Amino acid sequence: MELTTVWFILIGVLWAGYFLLEGFDFGVGILLPVLGRDDRSRRLAINTIGPVWDANEVWVLVAGGATFAAFPEWYATLFSGFFLPLLLILVALIVRGLAFEYRGKRSSAAWKRGWDLAIFWGSLIPAILWGVAFANILRGVPLDANHEYAGGFFNLLNPYALLGGLTTLALFTLHGAVFLALKTDGPMRTEAGRLAARLALVTVPIAAAFLIWTGIANLDGFGIALSVLAALSLTGAVLLTRSRREGWAFAATGATIVLAVAALFVTLFPNVMPSTIDTANSLTVGNASSTPYTLTVMTWVAAAFTPIVLLYQGWTYWVFRKRLKLSDIPT
């Protein structure tokens, strides 16, 4: 297997890991006004992701860095053409990170409400815009002969991309609700489980519409097979949330996210950014990649350090595996 293909797969794995882990962070933030009836319950929800949210964000930094190093043409075109939505995502993530750190610095109710809103919007905006961005990458964008983006911001707001944004929003919100049911005990666990069961019924038709549209538009056999598996996994999540089997339900929503990302990258290959103007203008793993020497060095570095990072993050989740309840939150 060529190193360009290896790094395309690795970047897909990084994005799948990011959406799997950061997806429930987004979901918890989006649900904060719904399940956080008072300050203690909001603190309980925030504390479920408190030890891990910043480590989860590392995945997107590594994915961006790997793209820059392995496929510089892809990185340049993506970050210039998608500058505004990516800037909005960055600002939202920064504001959300500040909210986690500063919310408890003062006891003022108004102060906390302001930062709670920052957590909500800092979760909602990326949850939508990541779906819009990746749907556009899969659909294709106007690229000229120099592989430069030739469209405007509103070209990105097409119906397919907006449905993609709605799909990621619904899926991450469901993922977050299931995570809260898994990580809490008492009233929060009960309420999150009930909400997850209702959200699942909304998520299924939205995700099904997006997967069907994607399958019809691309007709990639392997991609369609992965999409079908994602749909089956999401259906399983519906049944599991209704029976309050939180661990298996979380595994099912996580599998749905991973399979959906896998379907996207499989369908995209060998392109990394198709052109809607002329297929000859498309960026591929071949014309967008770095030199073989660069990819070789990157491969050795990744082989050495990736297991260490995975072991450390796995250990973090093991340490903080205990369920939380309101009695754990001081008054």
For the chain, the domains span: 3-328
Amino acid identity at 21? L
| C-beta separation of 135 from 165 below 8 A | yes
What pLDDT tens digit does each residue of the chain (331 aa) get? Answer: 688 999 999 999 999 999 999 999 999 999 999 987 888 888 999 999 988 888 898 899 999 999 999 999 999 999 888 999 999 999 999 999 999 989 888 888 889 899 999 999 999 999 999 999 999 999 888 988 888 888 777 888 899 999 999 999 999 999 999 999 999 988 889 899 899 988 988 998 999 899 888 878 776 778 788 888 888 888 888 888 877 788 899 999 999 999 999 999 999 988 999 988 888 888 999 888 888 899 999 899 888 888 888 898 889 889 888 888 887 777 7
CATH superfamily of 3-328: Formate dehydrogenase/DMSO reductase domain (1.20.1630.10)
Residue with tokens 């990258």: 265
Calculate helix-pair angle for 246-268, 159-183, nearest 10 degrees: 150
| Contacts (Cβ under 8 Å, ≥6 apart) of 214 | 138, 223, 227, 263, 264, 267
| C-beta separation of 258 from 20 below 8 A | yes
Helix and strand counts by DSSP (H, E) for the chain: 11, 2
Calculate helix-pair angle for 83-102, 53-70, nearest 10 degrees: 150
